[in-house]
Amino acid sequence: MATRSLNDPRRQVKVGTERVYDVANTEFPGNYPGEDHSWNLKKFRKDLKVEIQRLSRRSVEFDLVGVDASIANAFRRILIAEVPTIAIEHVYVWNNTSVIHDEVLAQRLGLVPLDVDPSQMEYHNGVATDRNTLVFRLQVACERRKGAAREETDPEKLYKNSNVLAKHLTWVPQGEQESFFADHPPKPTNDNILLAKLRPGQEIEIELHAIKGQGNEHAKWSPVGTASYRLLPNIQIHRPIPPPLAEKFQKCFSPGVISVDPTTKEVKVADPRRETMSREVLRHPEFEGMVSLSRIRDFFLFKIETESAYPPERLFTEAVTVFRDKVKRLKVAAQALAVEAAQAREGEADADADAAMETD
């Protein structure tokens, strides 16, 4: 399958010494006056590419190629604000003698990410049920350790429960939840999140209710720590770099971007992804006309870090699902408007006909 060249001027956002050129897109992205750019599914499939570059337990980096910036940004915003998660919403403080105020502690608890698949929960409709609410209990008291050395200064060795951690949150099953979540009981995604510090005589006893929500209501429901993208850097070498200047040319870019053959001193672009576009090479007159810099306007390097129950590779597919639901709703609304407009035209036509008959 033939791929479009990165050196196609229409795909490039050119980077100059002092400014960036060709930033604006056409009024209709991908369309140009006097040319037929009718949307074609076969062509779109040919140009579209989603390719994972790096995957770890908590993050994923992938390429999204062949879409307009408006579409890429829509996915980014959906990832941040509209992919649902489960978070603590209601906090009932029965006892809190720590130095942290109830309101501050409640905010900290709400931001603890929970390892619960949102697809297994329903949205809260005002009435708590075992299908829309998870109950947790936090009951921790600090005591002195018997036998601790008199000269000891480490709170962990002096006291029991000197640190209140996310692992102290205990899930309390309601209704049929014990069997429903038997294979994967709800818990925090990270047991070592520090919630508060206690000293002997201090105690915390709280009941917490977690519900399903979205990041556009509160950041605690956002499933990502980072959801960002940047355009692919493109480096074009127009003339061979003189061997005496090869190493200087290499140092004008980020490490790993330019390779220099140790024998022939031949310069090649090894990995443009690593380039930060410092434009250092454009500041040296000896390299004038030898190289040009740009970014590819439809080649997006995405990075997503998950802070929720979603594995990183699932987050983008969830965003696509939300996007498709939006398109379906928009289509239904547009069809309804078309029907209303047609009915209005028919009504006007009938009124004109009645008026003509009365005149006759």
Compute the half-sphere exposure of residue 317: CA atoms within 13 Å on the CB side of its CA. 7
Q: State the distance between the two ends of the chain, measured CA to CA, in whole angstroms.
A: 69
Can you read off the two tokens belonging to residue 64? Answer: 């999204």
Of 16, 10, 195, 12, the residue nearest 99 (C-alpha) = 195
Residue 302 in any domain: the answer is no
In a domain, 178, yes or no: yes
Q: Does residue 91 fall inside a structural domain?
A: yes
Q: What is the CATH number of the domain that holds 146?
A: 2.170.120.12
Phi, psi of 219 (to 5 degrees): -60, -20
Q: Indicate whether 295 belongs to any domain.
A: no
DSSP letters for 285-317:
GGGTTTEEEEEEEEEEEEEEEE-SSS-HHHHHH
* Residue appearing with tokens 């500041």: 283
Task: Determine, yes or no, domain membership for 2.
Answer: no
- Ordered DSSP codes for 71-95: HHHHHHHHHHHTS-EEEEEEEEEEE
Which pLDDT score, from 0 to 100, does residue 1 have?
A: 40
Within 8 A by CB and 6+ apart from 340, the residues are none
Is 44 a member of any domain?
Answer: no
Tens-digit pLDDT profile for residues 51-86: 999 999 999 999 999 999 999 999 999 999 999 999
The low-confidence residues of the chain, meaning pLDDT below 70, are: 1-3, 25-27, 359-360
Residue-number span of the structural domain to which 147 is assigned: 85-222
Whether 149 is covered by a domain: the verdict is yes
Evaluate whether residue 217 is within a structural domain: yes
Please tell me the total count of domains within the chain: 1
Cα–Cα distance, 234 to 240 (Å, whole number): 17
Whether the CB-CB separation of 104 and 339 falls below 8 Å is answered with: no
Residue 6 confidence (pLDDT): 85
**pTM greater than 0.95:** no
